[in-house]
Structure 1
Amino acid sequence: MTLYKAGGEDKHFAELFVGVHGGDWPRAKDHWTRVGQHVGDRTSELEGLSQRKAKAMIEDLARTVCLDMAAVGACWACGRDTVNR
């Protein structure tokens, strides 16, 4: 995950989200992507934004969803069940 390499809050998020997936980086990346796609497909506020702004908003919203769920040991893309913690 390039987030991990970015350091700071991005690295913290990556570590927490990957940790929920038992250290399985490819699975965590896939689930992060799926959450982003879900958010992007269902967020009407993206209409009218430039592609760059829409992408940034999707990433922010997806990160918020994933971070909140990872904090309690869950992943939306894993079926909302509590997973490895």
Structure 2
Amino acid sequence: MNKSKGNPDRNGQNSKKTEISAAQLTLIAGAVVTFGDVLATIAGVLALEEELQDDAEQTEYLKMQDEKIESMQKQIDELTLQIKNLTRR
């Protein structure tokens, strides 16, 4: 009879160990998932920063192009005026 009383204790201990192991694995899995979420968030922030940098560079490029076009238009206007003055003489 001692053996039958001992087995339930061992089964109970094994069950508790299994429950603890399962809880530990759940905790580890949660930590890994959280770490993955943090990495995904960091990747998103980096992608957003890169996009903002690209937009800033594009804006600067367009500003320079506008300045060049404006300068060219002034030159065209000056040349047109000079041609008009030459044809009047």
After TM superposition, is the score higher than 0.5?
no
Higher RCO by CA contacts (8 Å cutoff, separation 6 or greater)? 1
State the TM-score, normalizing by the size of structure 1.
0.28
Higher helix residue share: 2
**TM-score normalised to the size of structure 2?**
0.27
| Larger Rg, first or second structure (1 or 2) | 2
